[in-house]
Amino acid sequence: MYASGQGVEINEAEAFKWHLLCAQAGDSASQYALGVMCSQGDFLSRDFAQAIYWFEASAAQGDAHAQHNLGVLYANGEGVTKNVDEAVKWYRLAAAQGDASSQSNLIALTASEPSAQENHADIIQAYEAAANLGDAVAQYNLAVSYAHGNYVAQDEAEAFKWFKLSAAQGSVDSLYSLGAMFAKGRGVVQDYAQVVNNYHLAAEQGHAQAQLNLGLMCATGEGTPGNFESSAKWLQLAAVQGETLAQYNLGVLYANGQGVEQDYSQALKWYLLAAENGDAMAQFNVGFMYANAEGADRNYPEAVKWYRLSAMQGQAPAITINSEFKPLVSI
């Protein structure tokens, strides 16, 4: 009551006094409360060693919140030497009682710490426990495991099920994955209307690969009426996020005047970004534009540079043109 101001003025000193008396008498809720006060340092000076002492006393009596907080302290090495095994132990105890935060943290820990990945069955168990309680991230991770056969037998129907549940909660990655599964007919009947729908939902929330794929589908008319203006819109959004294929294809649209006003300088700009990311065809096109003064002044050394980079990746037209340009400049 003193801590929250219920019926009395907030008085942390009084709250601490009464929590301490109750904690010393073995009350797990007060032991947990003391652990919180010691770890946050709101009233007392922050003291992680004391926090661990009281959390352990409460956790030993089965308090899930105390078990979770011990997992956090051991995982982060706060007040104690970092110990992944101890963190996993406490997270598991709390997760077994339905603590969603512990389930999520256990999943994150097993994904990032090699020492926590030895028991693959535990990883799947953690995913399933959190997924069944409605954790969208766990549902997505479980779906990925089934889709690729990570730690579990590959099962595309099961992957689709969990992607769908996660997507229903707004998971952007799951929306994109649903689109990909509908596109390839993996775990579900191929359905391009659903492909477009799921990519569109993900793309509107900023998913770069969904924006790229939607842009390409609009350009080719696959699953949606061909529309170069829509294609340019989605490719632009993906391109500014660094999607190399989007940068290349946006360059193509500017070069050809499809869905946008023809603009060779813009075409060169996007080709260059894709070329710098290693796209062989973009490198060839940059070389061609410098050689032919399209979008920039004619520049044979730059043309040869980009043709050579393209040719080194096996781009056949660049191999031919590169050999023709060699005598024109001193390299």
Distance (Å, whole) CA 303 – CA 301: 5
Domain residues for 303?
A: 278-331
pLDDT, position 321: 61
Distance (Å, whole) CA 168 – CA 160: 12
Q: How many CB atoms neighbour CB 6 within 10 A?
A: 8
Is residue 35 included in any domain, yes or no? no
pLDDT, position 254: 95
Residue holding tokens 């050689």?
291
Tokens of 301: 């050394």
What would the pLDDT profile of 213-248 be if each residue is shown by its tens digit?
A: 999 999 988 888 888 999 999 999 999 999 999 999
Is residue 315 included in any domain, yes or no? yes
Tokens of 2: 């003193």
Is residue 13 included in any domain, yes or no? no
pLDDT, position 35: 83
Is residue 302 included in any domain, yes or no? yes
Is residue 316 included in any domain, yes or no? yes
Tokens of 93: 């105890």
Is residue 298 included in any domain, yes or no? yes
pLDDT, position 7: 45
With a cut of 50, list the residues of the chain below it in pLDDT: 1-10, 324-331
Question: Residue 56, class by beta-carbon neighbours within 10 Å (0-12 exposed, 13-18 middle, 19+ buried)?
Answer: middle
pLDDT, position 23: 83
Is residue 32 included in any domain, yes or no? no
Is residue 306 included in any domain, yes or no? yes
**Has this prediction a pTM greater than 0.75?**
no
| Structural domains counted in the chain | 1
